[in-house]
Amino acid sequence: MINILKIEFTKLKNSSLFIIIIMLTLGPLFNGVSVSKKLSAINSGSNTLEAIYDFSIGLYTIISLPTIIVIIFALIMRFERVSGGIKEILTLPVTKKQLFLSKLIIGVLLVSMSILIFTIGIIFAGFFQKCITIKSLLLILLRMLVIFLVSLGIMGGQYYLSLIYENISVPLGIGLCFQIPTILISASKYSLIYPWSYIIAVDNIKTLDIKTVIMITISIVMFLVINLYGYAKFNDNDIY
């Protein structure tokens, strides 16, 4: 499995996926730092770290992170299909389980990389502005961990779509369409029944309340159920 993961990362090195992820991740952060500097110049009493986070996280959870998830899981199966198809890959000493898990792990790791880069960027910006405290650091880490956990359900759904649709435009289109109503739903009483809104709904939490725990639980269950079902279909030759 380790060797397969190394091969997968080698394939990614030759693509522009890393560049896309980094650009989409850093874009909101640069916006947050820029706006917070202007705000500090106008009002010296403003909370600089809070301003950096607030003006960064909105763009990141509404646009960047969902788009990154959709693109990653649409592309990770695309590489095999372009190079000759999944059937050809399976003629090599690679089992279906190894192929399925390697693609899933790579996708989750790439999303984690984006969240980690964003988190480190926020923390470094706070250090440079000399406005970070242990309490604010722990709060940021909590929020980013929760954002990762509630995004698992979306990852599972997008990975399944990339498995069953050979045309890359289908998982891309479906994923982006699901993101359109998230801004409205995330602030409504219906946010719990729409997992695509979870990322936005938890980006400014102060603590792990019951609603947040429910969202995390639903997302993890979605991730497990969808991937177990997807693997069963993949293993039964229904998906190539």
pLDDT lower than 50: segments of the chain: 45
Output phi, psi for 49, to 5 deg: -65, -45
- Residue 35's pLDDT is 77
Which one, of 113, 158, 110, 104, lies nearest residue 12 by Cα? 110
Buried b (16+ CB within 10 A) or exposed e, 58-71: bbbbbebbbbbbbb
Measured torsion, CA atoms of residues 42, 44, 48, 51, in degrees rounded to the nearest 10: -40
Number of domains in the chain: 1
14: tokens are 């030759």
From CA 125, how far away is CA 105, in angstroms rounded? 30
Helices (H) and strands (E) in the chain, counts: 13, 0
Range of the domain at 55: 2-235
Buried b (16+ CB within 10 A) or exposed e, 3-33: ebbeebeeebeeeebeeebeebbbebbebbb
Please give the model's pTM, rounded to 2 decimal places: 0.90
In a domain, 89, yes or no: yes
CB 195 within 8 A of CB 153: yes
Neighbours of 114 (CB within 10 A): 22
240: helix, strand or coil:
coil
In a domain, 240, yes or no: no
In a domain, 76, yes or no: yes
- Residue 220's pLDDT is 98
26-76 pLDDT, tens digit each: 999 988 888 777 766 655 545 577 888 888 999 999 999 999 999 999 888
Neighbours of 91 (CB within 10 A): 9
